[in-house]
Amino acid sequence: MSSITLNSVEKWFGNVQVIKGVDLTINEGEFVIFVGPSGCGKSTLLRMIAGLEETSRGQIMIGERDATAEPPSKRGLAMVFQSYALYPHMSVRDNVGFPLKSAGLPKADIDAKVNEAARVLKLDDYMDRRPKDLSGGQRQRVAIGRSIVRDPTAFLFDEPLSNLDAALRVEMRYEIAKLHQTLKSTMIYVTHDQVEAMTLADRIVVLEFGRIAQVGSPRELYEKPANLFVAQFIGSPR
């Protein structure tokens, strides 16, 4: 588990600036949600934290370490995308264990880690199935399982539930809340869904055109929106 700090972070694509000087500290074990309308820079910021997008200016700290120039593999973070890329020809067990097998861990260690992930995520009943025989929610859980086994210092989620139907979204939202309680990991979660943000977050970061419009607890944002943009986005009757 680690804190993550962004110091005056900027992102330029050519001469277009999409992240405009973001300062933010995400505390150890905190569940922070990035919200904002489509195109405001949520995914870009998350991808910069993951190291999948270069940081044009500023600094990204993971714990006490300057990670700005580190490749994704060195950062120790788990990224869970909306499109859960599972290996279709592998069982759930092998999908979850794959990162450890690739890393060359002994089989006994892999089994122990995979069983632990299965327990936390309630995957036990379908460990021998292929992804095609799972529901959307189950597949999402397998994808999360695959990231848990590496003991990431933080989890990064980019709209992980947006491919699911409404009922499953509610169920998975609950699962993710439980996962946070169980693992007590730092989690950064991107969504454009206000309800998801309000129910899951310790703190919400509202992004507007690549800048932070406001950071606060769901309650703070609801009761004291910093401006009309936040008020409208959070849905406060102001």
Residue 142 binds: one of ligand ADP, Mg ion, none (C-beta under 5 to 8 A by kind): none
Q: By CB under 6 A, tell whether 54 contacts ligand ADP.
A: no
2, 5, 43, 191: which one contacts Mg ion (CB under 5 A)?
43
- The CA distance from 67 to 151, in Å, is 18
Number of residues near Mg ion (by CB under 5 A): 1
- Name the segment binding ligand ADP (CB under 6 A); options: 37-45, 81-89, 135-143, 176-184: 37-45
Q: By CB under 6 A, tell whether 13 contacts ligand ADP.
A: yes
- Name the segment binding Mg ion (CB under 5 A); options: 39-47, 83-91, 127-135, 205-213: 39-47
Q: What is the 3 state secondary structure string of 12-80?
A: EECCEEEEEEEEEEECCCCEEEEECCCCCCHHHHHHHHHCCCCCCEEEEEECCEECCCCCHHHHCEEEE
Q: By CB under 6 A, tell whether 41 contacts ligand ADP.
A: yes
Q: Between the CA of residue 115 and those of 125, 184, 218, 235, what are the distances in Å?
A: 12, 19, 35, 42
Number of neighbours of residue 166 by Cβ within 10 angstroms: 8
Q: Are 21 and 33 in contact (CB under 8 A)?
A: no
- Provide φ and ψ at 74, rounded to 5°: -85, -15
Q: By CB under 6 A, tell whether 160 contacts ligand ADP.
A: no
Q: By CB under 6 A, tell whether 18 contacts ligand ADP.
A: yes
5, 44, 185, 194: which one contacts ligand ADP (CB under 6 A)?
44
Q: By CB under 5 A, tell whether 191 contacts Mg ion.
A: no
Q: By CB under 6 A, tell whether 42 contacts ligand ADP.
A: yes
15, 38, 73, 181: which one contacts ligand ADP (CB under 6 A)?
38
Q: Which is nearer to ligand ADP, 45 or 176 (CB)?
A: 45
Task: Give the angle 196-81-161 at the CA atoms, nearest 5°.
Answer: 30
Q: By CB under 6 A, tell whether 87 contacts ligand ADP.
A: no
**Interstrand relation of 77-80 and 65-66 (parallel, antiparallel or unpaired):** unpaired
- The CA distance from 194 to 232, in Å, is 11
Can you name the residues that pair with 155 across neighbouring β-strands? 78, 187
Residue nearest to Mg ion (CB): 43
Applying CB under 6 A, which residues contact ligand ADP? 13, 18, 36, 38-44
